[in-house]
Each structure stands twice: as structure tokens, then as C-alpha cells.
Chains A and B, each alone.
Chain A
Amino acid sequence: MELKPLHIVNTQLIDGDTPRPGSLLAVDGRIAALDPTDIPDGTETVDARGQWLAPGIIDLGVFATDKPAFHFGGITRAALMPDSGPLDGAGLVERAAKGGKPDLWVHPLAAATKGLEGRELAEIGLMKQAGARAVATGRARIADSGVMRRVLSYAASLGLVTIIHAEDEGLTAGAVATDGEMATRLGLASAPAIAEAMAIARDLALVEETGAPVHFRQVTTARGLDLIRAAKAKGLPVLCGITPAHLLLSDTAIGDFRTFARLSPPLRSEDDRHACLAAIKDGTIDILSSGHDPRGPEDKRLPFAEAQPGMAGAETLLALGLGLVRDGHISPGRLFELLAATPACLLGVDAGKLAPGKEADLILVDDGTPWQVDAKKMAAWAGNTPFDGMPVQGRATMMWKGGVRIR
């Protein structure tokens, strides 16, 4: 079937800092023009009734290909972490890349080392040929500095960014929470928050040495963010990200041993949470992602320390991001830089922006409708959200991938 041109009218375009009235024309799966004057024959017209038109969300670093959740959340592209598998060979990467077809882009991230064991380089070059868009160290960092240095320079030579998990494994061994009153009261093994800054410091030194571009997937502490800020000021090729959980929750959320709030890295102190909010405001944080990691009761209905870390975040990502806008931390335009433009840039995909020539991965966003997060009624295959019961506002109402309506 031939793809009809698509004209979305009566919309608020998110192509600058604030939404502006306008319309968008997509032809052959790509954005042809904003506010077009010539409309080709046979164009399908969609009346957005004043809703926001934004680039589809590119969720960087998910742990499962969970299409219903991504579609609910307005996510058109998901960069899949290499942990399940692990994705350390070209065949596995190729299969993972096809996992979302036809209505979701899955961009696999190549395991940095064989079996993600942190010892031997994986076949990063072959995985790139098979469709891997970046390299990732997985849920843990690479402990051996020599291996890490080789990974960084090798990935850089292939033009790939290395996505890093930053926690010092010596300090965090056995820990399930951050040092503090909460962990002490609950009797949970905990690690100091500086475990993050120490890991970041080492890797920044390696970046300075090798010139390799890196992305710290989650930076969640004041000291970690200070290091990133300083590195950026020096001009190092460094990006960093965060999930809404560390912006909106502190370690008090683990009270009553709520395993849905067991995350990796663990929730931090209230001071660190405020530092994260400041960093998203001042531009230190580049990417907002869901960290989507659905976990069933077999992983979560357990004593806290035995439960697996992770949260199902894909469905709440957009609404919680809109909450940051409503609270005055960021502008709408900046939200979609965090959610789409910067991840697209990192992955090297031609999307993530409302600009002529980009792929027509689009979402309509109703930024006002209130709804309540309900762990029992999630589209994700498990409802492990730490935001259960939270009232939020805004959701994606329509989605297009390459100009084709998928929701």
C-alpha cells in the first residue's frame, strides 16, 4: 500500500522552546515541511484540535522490548540495553533490532565485553554492522580500568558512543540502598553515594586520555553531577542522563520495604534529588529516559534485599516529564531535547526533531488530561512502578512511525 502524505493541522508544534500554533506535512515517511503552503493531492489530514505535536520519544537504555508500554508512553524508538542475552554477538543484535517491527524501532546497544563480564572486548565492529547504535557496559560498570580504556578507544574508532553505568563495585558490593537514615532504620545493606562520583571520575580520566565520547546513563548525585559539569566545561565529549525516579523520589520511597522502589543505582538523599533537579534545569543533564525494566512478582514480591532492582517506566516517562515542565524546571522544547533530540544524536538516527528531512516519527500530546498511575492496570508486562497511585497529567494520544499511524 502506498503511503499517503500526512498533514497534521491545528496543532501546537514543539520545534522551539515553547509550543507554537502550526501544521506539519509528512511525505514518504519524512517531514516535508512545517506550516506547508502546498498540500499534495490525496493527502490525509488529521485535526490535532490544539494538541502538542512533538517528535516521538527515543527511550535510551531500556531492558525489555515491551511494545504496549512504549506505545502507551509515546515512545517510537527504544535503545535496548545489552543485558538480556547478553547482546554480545552480531546475530543477537540483528535479531533484537527486528524485535519491534513493524511499529517500533528497536536500536540495540552492543555489549562492550563478551558476556558483559568486563574482561574481553566483544565484537563491537560486527555488531555495528548488524545494527548496534552504541556500546553499553550494561547494568554494571567495567571494573578493570585497562579493559575500560580499550573499550572506549575501540568504540570511538568505530564512531560509537559508550554508555556507562557508574557505580564503584567495591563500595556497592552487596548494597541495596544508599547510606542514610532510611537504610539504617530498615536494616538494609547500603553504600555511600560517592560510589557514583568515584566511578565517574575514573571514566572521565579515561575520556580525557582517549578522547572517546561517552554517555553516563544515570547520574544521580550532586558530586557526580559536579564532575560532569566540570568535564563539560573542559570540552570533553560527555553526556549524562537520568530517569524521572531520581528526580522525583528520594530514599524515603523505600520505606515499608517497597521493592518497586528498589532501583539501580538506588534512590538517593533528598539533597541529591534537588541537585538532580538543578542539573536538569541548568543543562548538565542531557537525556531523560525511562530505564524501562518490567519485573514480575517473581522478581519483586520478595524481601527487599532479595528483590531485583528496576522499574517499569515507559508509560510514566512522558507524563512525569510534563510534570517537570509544569513545575517550571524546564521548557517544553527542552523536554523534547531530553526525550528525543539528544538521544537521536547519540544514536546517530535521523529523527528526534520537528524539522524538514527528519523521519516522521511523531506524537500528539494532550498535555493536560489528568490520570492516575495504577500498578495494576499498566500496559507494560509488569506493573513495577514506584509511582503507583500518583496523579499525573498528560499523555500521548496519537503516534506515527515513519509517517504511518501506529496508534
Chain B
Amino acid sequence: MSAAPRAALLEVRNLRISFGGLAAVRGADLTVYRGETHCLVGESGCGKSVTALAVMGLLARNGRRKADRLAFDGQDLLRLSESRLSKLRGDRMAMIFQEPMTSLNPAYTVGSQMAEVYRRHRGGTRAEALDRAEDLLAKCRVTSPRLRLGQYPHQLSGGLRQRVMIAMALMCDPELLVADEPTTALDVTVQAQILRLLMDLQRDLGLALMLITHDLGVVARMAHRVSVMYAGEVVESAPAAELFGNPTHPYTRGLLACVPVPGKVRRDQPLGSIPGVVPRIGHGFAGCAFRDRCGQARAECARTVPWRTSGEHGYRCILPPGWAGPASLAA
């Protein structure tokens, strides 16, 4: 973790997203710094993907987005018109998705889909764009990249398609890359390759990478900073080493107890589990959403819970910092 000057690239304050009567995100705070990998973790349905889509302005039509601040490099994204925003998307901020099988248009070649982004944002001839596409495919470790440009998505495997998606996202040298569970749909061996690739690209290109995952092993390997989401809220956020060394929110502790992190969990120690499921939250819900599943719950958990910080480590819980003792994992 470098000590380079830290400039915030993406700032999210009190982001609220709802679909009809259902609150998907209820006040999420998030800061992604330049050149850092920021992992967003949590169970399915906790609002990670929706948060990422809201940042990109890609919510489905019935999704409503509100926030106190949503800024990319100081620019207020909330005030940006759709056409101004679309000039930013694919150029300075790019996104890759969970489903490489369906995320590419079946009717066009890889080359034409890649060239299209570049020409939209940077202009130039098709030949120039295709040359750039070839370079990037090579950089994404795609074999015989020239050949791939002329192929259609259905001719490629899932892993290759995700590499194409990544290369396509990098066409315009974005500062921010949002990756929404980019390996979930892939085979295990391919998963490792894609993550390795993302890690190397992040480092080599100095990308700010917002990586959404539910895999804490991935987080341990890749993240500079981690935000843990639960039921539409960020419940804990800290630099990776601090989070793994000193998890404070009961949910984070429970989550870590469920996963064998190499070197952190003893061989004979049984893995934990969190009873219950993520609740569906309607409007007007107050207090900590985790309280029904929490071993530490008290009466005051039903009231508004404060955001406590110590240094770069913040969490949303009534418990004091270090309540469980440092560096020990909840069983």
C-alpha cells in the first residue's frame, strides 16, 4: 500500500436508491481514491451492484437515485445531463459486468464493438481504433488478438469474453474502472486468471478500481481499501490491512469468520456462519438492519446508529472501537 498523495476520484455521500417501495440502498458513503483498488463486499442483495450502477448512472428505469454528493473528480454527477454523463462513461469511467456471456452484442464483431467506444470518445479512423483494440487485447493476454477482432462473441469462451470486456473498458484509458463481480460467472481456474489480470492492469495503468465481490479471499489479495455493505448500508470501511486485522462491526466479524483466509484462520478452527438472511427493507425503516441476526444486539440498536471513526477506519455500530479486543476474530 503506497503512501502516494491520495486524491479522491469518486466521492459518494448518503446515496439512496429505491425501486418502487423497496429501498435498495439507504445512505451509502464511499470514497474511491486515484490508483487504488476499493473492494465493495457483502452478501447477495445488499446493494453492491446497485450502488455501482447508480454511480455509473445505469440504473434501470424504475430505479430512483438520490444523494447528498456524487462526484467524479470533483464533477457533480447528479447535476450532469444524460448526454454529458454519456461523454464521461466509457471514456473516463468504465464498467465491466458479471455476465460476460450476454454483455457483448451478439450481432457485431469484437473489433467493431471495441472500436466503437474509442471512436465515440476519441474520434479517429476505424483502423486506428482497431490497432488500439489489438494492443489492449494483447495486454489483456488474449491470444492472436488480430484474429479475435473479426470474431463474434458467440465464438469466444466466457473467460475470453470477459477479457474482451476488460480490454473494451480500457480503450479510452479510464481513470475509474468499476468491476461488478467480474468472475462470478466463470470457471474457477479462469477466475484466478481474470483477477490476476485485473490486479496487474490496476497497478500498471494506475487505475482506480472499484471491485464488487462477495469473495473475501479476493478482497484479501487485491484490495487497498474495503467497504462492507449490509442491507443497503456501508457498515464498515477501512484500509484492507486494518479491516482484516481489526474488524469491528459484528457483521464484518461474522463475515470474516465464515471464510478461511489463509494465514488468518487456524487449521482446526471451525468456520462460522451467520444465522438468518438479509432482510428486505421498506421505506421508513430505522436503526441497525443487522440487529435481528446480531449476537450483540441491544435495545438502542433500533434507534439511529452513529457512524464512528478512528483514523481511516469507520463503522456504523453502537459498540465502541476495540469492543472485541484487537486482532481477534469472532467465532
* B and A form one assembly: no
Chain B residues packing against A (C-beta within 8 Å): none
Chain A residues packing against B (C-beta within 8 Å): none
